[in-house]
Amino acid sequence: MAALPFSDREFKVIADIMYEAAGLSFNDSKKSLIHSRLSPRIHKLGLQSFADYIEILGDETQGAEFQMAVDLLTTNETYFFREPKHYDLLQQEFATYGPSRSLHVWSAASSFGDEAYSTAMLMADMQMRGQIGAGWSILATDISHRVLLSAKEGVFPEDRLRAVSPERLRRYCLRGEGPSQGQVLVQDKIRQKVQFGQLNLCKPFDGLGPFDVVFLRNVLIYFDPPTKTDVVDRVLATLKPGGLFFLGTAEGRVPCKTPITPVIPGAFRKNA
Ligand SMILES: C[S@@+](CC[C@H](N)C(=O)[O-])C[C@H]1O[C@@H](n2cnc3c(N)ncnc32)[C@H](O)[C@@H]1O
């Protein structure tokens, strides 16, 4: 199939739409990435050019296609117990709280929910041991409607649970058989502790929280420096003083106005 022409102007229009609506930042070096990720979609829709696609992206009644473009231009990669040291720290932290305290966790940019369900398994174990009470909940949000639909179903390819211990797999998961072989269903007792919702981190999200712990891992890579700082400060505003804040370990420390103290790589405590 012939490569679709893609002018600098068309690149700029798409980059501007993505920045305005989702905070995604694409500099000139990303022109070929946008071309390669969106061209197959344009062909699939039977459109003739990037100009036709831009018309759809700019049409507010075609929100589903905008969502599709965001999905194609970002990665949803995630897996259970990613960055195990973060979960070790969380467990140590919760163990100091005692069973009477209610606990609220936010997995911002949750993708398919692996992070939220991992946290729910950890907390369910701690509740079973009497280290925390039953009053805990997890909110998991993402900009992508598609990943949220899948997250709510709680069905995952086995490989994504490779870091889940055999005991947790037995306690909280069901292995598929027959046509579902190779898939794992997270049991209802874990799924019901996680509430999923659509949320664009680059738009206001007043009224959320306060949370004891917030995960904001592996999403800031898409944002430019001012957007990163703005998002981090607004997310930190939802965190209780003394609460833990997790970024991806590769993301380093993001400049923000809110005072935070590093704990381990990728983990910070909001100053009291
Ligand atoms: C690589 S995944 C991170 C998943 C998980 N936090 C982890 O670290 O394993 C990045 C997620 O960020 C989401 N995302 C991108 N831009 C966003 C925005 N403006 N608001 C909310 N979520 C966004 C994408 O849809 C994707 O699911």
pLDDT at 220: 96
pLDDT at 232: 97
Q: Are residues 155 and 133 in the same domain?
A: yes
Residue owning the nearest CA to atom 17 of ligand 1 = 143
From the CA of 122, how far away is ligand 1's center (Å)? 22
Distance of alpha carbon 11 from alpha carbon 97, whole angstroms: 51
**Of the residues 73, 106, 129, which one is the last residue of a structural domain?**
73
Q: Are residues 116 and 217 in the same domain?
A: yes
Nearest CA to 125 out of 136, 139, 115 is that of 136
Ligand 1 shell residues, CB under 6 Å:
22-23, 74-78, 82, 109-111, 115, 142-144, 147, 200-202, 217-219, 222, 248
H or E stretch at 183? strand 183-186
CA dihedral (85, 141, 243, 236) in degrees, to 10, reads 120
Report the CATH number that the domain containing residue 93 is assigned in CATH.
3.40.50.150
Residue 63 falls inside a structural domain: yes
**Of the residues 22, 54, 73, which one is the last residue of a structural domain?**
73
Report the CATH number that the domain containing residue 68 is assigned in CATH.
1.10.155.10
The number of domains in the chain is: 2
Q: Are residues 162 and 89 in the same domain?
A: yes
- For the chain, the residue count is 272
Distance of alpha carbon 111 from alpha carbon 118, whole angstroms: 13
pLDDT at 198: 96
Residue 175 falls inside a structural domain: yes
Residue 2 falls inside a structural domain: no
What is the residue-level pLDDT of the chain in tens, covering all 272 positions? 778 999 999 999 999 999 999 999 999 999 999 999 999 999 999 999 999 999 999 887 778 899 999 999 999 999 999 999 999 999 999 999 989 999 999 999 999 999 999 999 999 999 999 999 999 999 999 999 999 999 999 999 999 999 999 999 999 999 999 999 999 999 999 999 999 999 999 999 989 999 999 999 999 999 999 999 999 999 999 999 999 999 999 887 788 999 999 999 999 999 99
Enumerate the active-site residues. 37, 142
Residue 137 falls inside a structural domain: yes
pLDDT at 252: 77
Residue 174 falls inside a structural domain: yes
Q: Are residues 118 and 183 in the same domain?
A: yes
- The helix/strand/coil state of 129 is coil
Domain that holds residue 221: 84-270
For residue 35, how far is the Cα from the chain centroid? 25
Residue owning the nearest CA to atom 3 of ligand 1 = 218
pLDDT at 63: 80
pLDDT at 2: 78
**Of the residues 23, 41, 73, which one is the last residue of a structural domain?**
73
Q: Are residues 148 and 214 in the same domain?
A: yes
pLDDT at 92: 97
For a mutational test of ligand 1's pocket, the pick from 19, 68, 71, 74, i.e. the residue with the most ligand atoms closer than 8 A to its C-beta, is: 74
